[in-house]
Amino acid sequence: MPKACTACKSTKKVELCGVCESPVCQKCAQYLPKHSFPLLPVRPPELHHDTYCGPCYVSKIGPIEEEYARLSVLAAKVLVFPKAKAEQTRLMDKREKPLSVEDCEDERDVLLKLAYLAAKEGFNALIYVHVAKKQVRNHAYQTSRWTGHAIPTKVDEAKLRPDY
Ligand SMILES: [Zn+2]
Ligand SMILES: [Zn+2]
Which ligand lies nearest to the CA atom of residue 22 in the structure?
A: 2
Cα 40 to ligand 1 centroid, rounded to whole Å: 31
The burial of 110, by beta-carbon neighbours within 10 Å (0-12 exposed, 13-18 middle, 19 or more buried), is given as buried
What is the per-residue pLDDT across 130-141, written as a single tens digit (0 to 9) for each?
999 998 887 778
Residues with Cβ within 8 Å of residue 71, at least 6 apart in sequence: 39, 116, 119, 120
Annotated domain spans of the chain: 14-74, 79-159
Considering only CA atoms, give the Rg of the chain. 21
* Residues within 5 Å of ion ligand 1, judged at the Cβ atom: 5, 7-8, 10, 25, 28
Residues with Cβ within 8 Å of residue 135, at least 6 apart in sequence: 142, 143, 144
- pTM of the prediction? 0.83
Query: Can you give the length of the chain in residues?
Result: 164
Which helix or strand (DSSP H or E) is residue 127 part of?
strand 125-138
Which ligand lies nearest to the CA atom of residue 51 in the structure?
A: 2
Cα 98 to ligand 1 centroid, rounded to whole Å: 48
Classify domain 79-159 at the CATH topology level. Translation Initiation Factor IF3 (3.30.110)
Which ligand lies nearest to the CA atom of residue 29 in the structure?
A: 1
Which ligand lies nearest to the CA atom of residue 19 in the structure?
A: 2
Beta-carbon count within 10 A of 47 CB: 16
What is the per-residue pLDDT across 75-112, written as a single tens digit (0 to 9) for each?
999 999 876 566 667 777 788 999 999 999 999 999 99
* Mean pLDDT of the 138-161 span: 84
